[in-house]
Amino acid sequence: MSNYPSRTDIVTAMRNPHVSFRSNEIIGGSVIQNGSRIIQYSGGYTTVFPFHKKTGNKVAVRLWIADIGDAKKRSLEISNYLENLNNAYFAGFKYIDDAVLVNGTLHPIVLMDWVDGQTLKEYINSNITNTSKILDLAEKFKEMTAYFHKENIAHGDLQHGNILIKGDGSLVAIDYDSMFIEPLNGMTDTIKGLPGYQHPTRHSNQFVNSRLDYFSELVIYLSLLIYADTPKLWDDYYETEDLLFSKDDFVNPSNSKLIITHLKSTNPTISELTEKMVEELKATDIAQLRPLEDLLVNRREVTKDNIFDKWDKQPNPATKKKVSLPNKNDITNKF
């Protein structure tokens, strides 16, 4: 499809459901309004409407306003994959062709389960003085990324607006337009993500792959540890498009006040992860990046080269020390 409707045209169509709604999944339902204003959430390529189905269930209806490169194939593959995966880290996601009539042309939608929760920034803002909750969030984020790696999945656009924290503290990733799953191998990497979360070489990456999230994972996890350690920093970043670090920090780390400061952190996990961030920024291709669990291996561990030379002098590798989050019960001593 070469012609995409404007947001204004889509809103007009959503105001006239008897004319515009053509799929059984949305016929009889209605968009949610605040007074006379239709509520919508706009992204770079899509617009999303909170929606009540005729059954009363709340869902999200999503339409494209710009080309992301074969949206139908991407969405169908992701829809089928996530349905089979059936994992709580992902919201229900169904591609429906020819669903809404806009200006005389039928357009597809994605119908998603509605997730009640706070975005990553909203959650941090609500809990910035609670070190324990910020550290719990970091741990849960690390567990989520480890699951993605196990399943050979990359979200592709991990950032504050695409991670929701539910009332029970569990995490849900939303917005799958830049996702990698094995059936999409060879598809173009169209949506590059927010610069404050992405490695500088992401802009030149051609195809989606399982390493798309690696740098974003480090940025988010390290930022959470830093906010747990120094909550007063939060006031400077809540209203920005960055979580903490910016594109300028990544392009020129040797002149970054944030990076230089946290290389000298008295918290060993923060100083070492900041050092590893600097190392990752030397990569010339995202194929060279490492996943978060590899970066969390303490560099004081015996290297492979030494293991066999000094095997009898080394402890059992199964007991090798890992860098881990401070114990919540000992927070005051660790921070």
Answer yes or no: do 95 and 130 share one domain: no
CA torsion angle 219 221 227 228 (round to 10): -160
SS3 content of the chain, % helix, strand, coil (to 5): 45, 15, 40
- Does residue 175 register a pLDDT over 80? yes
Distance (Å, whole) CA 80 – CA 90: 13
| Mean pLDDT (whole number) for 263-272 | 97
pLDDT value for 66: 83
- Please report the DSSP string for 296-312 in residue order: TS-TTSPPHHHHHHSGG
Helices 214-229 and 268-280: crossing angle in degrees, nearest 10, is: 150
Answer yes or no: do 92 and 142 share one domain: no
- Does residue 67 register a pLDDT over 90? no
CATH number of the domain at 85, please.
3.30.200.20
Answer yes or no: do 145 and 215 share one domain: yes
pTM, full prediction: 0.84
Q: Are 58 and 114 in contact (CB under 8 A)?
A: yes
| Mean pLDDT (whole number) for 200-206 | 96
Q: Are 212 and 198 in contact (CB under 8 A)?
A: no
Answer yes or no: do 89 and 181 share one domain: no
| Mean pLDDT (whole number) for 201-206 | 96
Reported as a single tens digit per residue, the pLDDT across 1-32 is 457 899 999 999 999 999 999 999 999 999 99
Answer yes or no: do 210 and 65 share one domain: no
**Is 217 a member of any domain?**
yes
Could you tell me the pLDDT band of residue 68, with boundaries at 50, 70 and 90? Answer: confident
pLDDT value for 270: 97
Q: 180 forms bridges with which residues in the sheet? A: 154
- Does residue 331 register a pLDDT over 60? no
- State how many domains the chain has: 2
Count of C-beta atoms within a 10 Å radius of residue 319: 6
Mean pLDDT of the chain: 88
Distance (Å, whole) CA 174 – CA 259: 29
Q: Are 179 and 153 in contact (CB under 8 A)?
A: yes
Domain with 107 in it: 7-113
Burial-class residue 123 by CB neighbours within 10 Å (0-12, 13-18, 19+).
buried
| Mean pLDDT (whole number) for 45-60 | 93
**Is 1 a member of any domain?**
no
Tokens of 163: 């991670």
